[in-house]
Amino acid sequence: MASLLPLNRIASASAWRVLPNRWDFVAFPLIVGLLAMAAVGWRESMAPMSALQNEVISLAPANLPGYALRTTLRMLAAMAASLAFTLAYGTLAAKSRRAGMLLVPALDILQSVPVLGFISFTVTFFLALFPSRVFGAELAAIFAIFTSQAWNMTFSFYQSLRTVPHDLDEVSRGFHLTGWQRFWKLEVPFSMPGLVWNMMMSMSGGWFFVVASEAITVGERTITLPGVGAYLARAIEERNLGAVGWVILTMIVVILAYDQLLFRPLVAWADKFRMETTSSGDAPQSWLLDLVRRTRLIHRLLAPVGWLLARVARVPLALPRRWLASATGARRATSSRTGDAVFGALVVALTLYLLWRVVDYVHAEITLGEVGRVFVLGLITLLRVAVLIAIASAVWVPLGVLIGLRPALAQKIQPLAQFLAAFPANLMFPVFVMVIVRFRLKADIWLSPLIVLGTQWYILFNVIAGASAYPNDYREAARNFRIRGWQWWRQVMLPGIFPYYVTGAITASGGAWNASIVSEFVQWGDTRIAAHGLGAYIAQTTSAGDYPKIILGIAVMSLFVTLFNRLLWRPLYAYAEGRLRAD
């Protein structure tokens, strides 16, 4: 009988470990709510297409919670797709020299090509996949939001892969990690702090495209998806300032919600991947992450998932031999120069073929004088973009470093920065139009701030990410050597955040080109104001339905963005990789 007592105690202790504690009862409703939200979204997506025709967007504020739920689900789905795209595309571009010759310039072009220019084609494609279900229209909306999220996340991940420190790479080789193991054990963790902040920026930047993605026009057919974007589009159409105010309030609530429930836990979790040997005295905190860690039953239920992911990361999967070399180290000479020359020739041939197709399409209706005029307009927009990016850099780099080096301050600023980044530029159109008309201001100057209003935050978020990831060891060394003032900026901080800044600047400039289409030609009701520039040209020709001129404008914009990146940002990238990497 006595021998059974220890067994009973062990059984009781095992049973006690699986019983929920008080933290489980707090976390469980959150999980159930998340699952219920996903179930509701799936049910609405699989409804017949006729359901949209019977549903009219109402400006009653009571409908906004339901609209906000639908919009949030679309943005989260687009975020998941963007993350998968980032890991695949960024890895291929960073690790394969030949693929990078094509993929990196393509990424430059993709972030500059206006989404509104090809959304009608993608809508037709997705609607054809599910012609009788709302799911096709939902996929089209998710894809439009995806195009606003994926590019800067991919640039961030690509930059991280290209700047992995030499010593960490040597350690991975010393442990004989395969390419698959090194990817999950070294490269993804190293990129995580910057990637999380860019995910935050992408989520906020997606609000601008929500308006276009939830009110879709295909020919003479208009499909309106219930959501905050459709609500805002109708409020602007009816010039209802009260409804616009309710949209702003809803955005604040939604941004605070996903800041607390998604991004703050991610920032606190990603802090463990910082490259340092001495811990920071003020690490970021998250009440939700602490709550999950204190649970008993939920923690045990999630443990098998963590174990499975860890096992997958340890699988000795052999990647292609040329990928076994680090993306930051010298490439293994496994491919012949003949192969590189053939691949380069194919890329040039493809580029020339696409150029010929564009010229063949537009030459019948467009004269050389029109082409020259469009190039002059492109130079005007280029000047605007360059000046605004320089001003934004001078403002946000010091502030980003100040915020990034103080996690407690970053947690307070984080929701405000997300809201400012998410604030759609078209909400400022009434103010700019009324002020310009009232005081007879010059549109070429006073419409310019709209170009950088939403894209400047790419610089701030990336600089915050760089400062947050800056090793505490280096900060302590600089403090011990009494490095201060301009010397501290020049020798310590600017080299540390420079790769992150270049990533933010390149995405900000690409986004500014895209934003020029809606910023150089604005309207509020019947009042229209246009500035001279390539963006206004594309907007006006799109409104007129002049497709040859639309294609000419988009082609010239893509050419300017590609040359701007090749001549400025890519050399800065190379400088960051070759001179400013941590060794």
Residue of 495, 486, 509, 494 lying closest to 560 (CA atoms)? 509
Contacts 24+ apart (CB under 8 A), 343-347: 343/98, 343/101, 344/101, 347/101, 347/102
DSSP conformation class of 320? P
| CA distances from residue 379 to 506, 534, 556 in whole angstroms, order as listed | 18, 8, 10
- Give the strand pairing for 215-218 and 521-524: unpaired
Comparing C-alpha atoms, which of 117, 118, 111, 122 is closest to residue 147? 111
If one counts every other C-beta atom within 10 angstroms of the C-beta of residue 45, the result is: 21
CB atoms under 10 Å from CB of 298, counted, come to 20
Alpha-carbon span 227 to 218, nearest angstrom: 19
- The tens digit of pLDDT for each residue in 253-284 reads 888 888 888 888 888 888 877 766 555 556 77
- Longest CA pairwise span in the chain (Å): 103
Q: Which residues of the chain carry a pLDDT beneath 70?
A: 1-18, 53-54, 112-121, 212, 216-221, 275-282, 317-337, 339-340, 343, 424-427, 429, 524-525, 577-583
pLDDT at 580: 52
Tokens of 312: 């997958």
Question: What pLDDT does 401 receive?
Answer: 93
Residue 288 exposure: Cα atoms within 13 Å on the Cβ side: 17
In the chain the first and final C-alpha atoms are separated, in Å, by 65
Q: Where are the alpha helices (DSSP H) in 405-446?
A: 407-422, 429-439, 443-446
Q: What is the 3-state secondary structure (H, E, C) of 121-156?
A: HHHHHHHHHCCCEHHHHHHHHHHHHHHHHHHHHHHH
Q: Tokens representing 494?
A: 């600017």
Residue 189: burial class (beta carbons within 10 Å; 0-12, 13-18, 19+): middle
Is the CB of residue 544 less than 8 Å from the CB of residue 559?
no
**Up-side HSE of residue 330: CA atoms within 13 Å toward CB?**
3
